[in-house]
Structure 1
Amino acid sequence: MTLTFTEICIDAHDIHALSSFWSAVLGWPTEPTEDGDVLLRAPEGAGPDWLFVPVPDDKIVKNRIHFDFTPDDQQAEVDRVFGLGARPVDIGQGEQTWVVLADPEGNEFCILSGV
């Protein structure tokens, strides 16, 4: 048996706003699906596509899984995603080399120290 990792499904209260945020962060195009969801299409070799699925409820607790991103320049990327609508989050991480942020719907992600 073989599995291919093709999509990450992300529940969202507002799939259009959240997919637009992540499209701006990653520079990936969005496209509607036949089911009314929104797909963020990953460039070849960049990993799985992201599928935004509408849900009626808001996020309440800390994520059990999150994304880590490694930039060339950590502070420049933190500043850029702040400008796009991210916000800092304290999940009890203390003083670390990474920065914990949340997207507009509160999903945590980290920007690691630069390469």
Structure 2
Amino acid sequence: MPLQLHHIVIDTHDLPRLARFWAAVLDWPILSVREREIVIGPYENAPAGICFMPVSEPKRTKNRLHIDLTTTAEDRDAEIERVIRLGARRVDVGQTGEESWTVLADPEGNEFCVVRPKRTLIA
């Protein structure tokens, strides 16, 4: 059997704060809390989730891997503003302003994008 995605792991300086932020952004429950990890996911037996693990050093450079999020066209701007109210901020990673995505950073500076909605393919 081929490998399957289990978790995306995000290193964090403030474990509970970042886990709560992402749980609120994605509207996912916190599934597991241990001394050195918190796991969130869409539901208890979901095939993949996000695991937060503590590190002592702060983030220093641009992510080599990031998360892309999307929603409907009608909700996109409202969702960006909601996520900013939760603690995200807009960041400049060299975009021109013509992109179809908005770059944000979570409270610890991890960049992620809110991209345009997927188009429905008509067969």
Q: TM above 0.5, one fold?
A: yes
Whole-angstrom distance in 1 between the partners of 2:117 and 2:55? 35
CA shift in 2, pair 1:28/1:77, >3 Å: same
CA shift in 2, pair 1:111/1:37, >3 Å: same
Corresponding position of 1:54: 54
Counterpart AA for 1:8: I
Q: Secondary structure at the match of 1:105?
A: coil
Which among 90, 93, 98 is matched to residue 91 of structure 1? Answer: 93
| Structure 1 stretches lacking a partner, 5+ long | none
Q: CA deviation at 1:44?
A: 7.4
Q: Secondary structure at the match of 2:107?
A: coil
Is the aligned partner of 1:82 residue 2:84? yes
Corresponding position of 1:105: 108
Aligned residues: CA RMSD? 1.8
Is the aligned partner of 1:32 residue 2:37? no
Whole-angstrom distance in 1 between the partners of 2:47 and 2:86? 22
Query: When the two structures are superposed, what TM-score results if normalisation uses the length of structure 2?
Result: 0.85
Contact kept? 1:42, 1:50, Cα under 8 Å = no
Counterpart AA for 1:77: E
Whole-angstrom distance in 2 between the partners of 1:98 and 1:47? 27
Seq. identity, %: 46
Q: Secondary structure at the match of 1:11?
A: strand
| Structure 2 stretches lacking a partner, 5+ long | 119-123
Question: How many matched pairs?
Answer: 114
CA shift in 2, pair 1:90/1:16, >3 Å: same
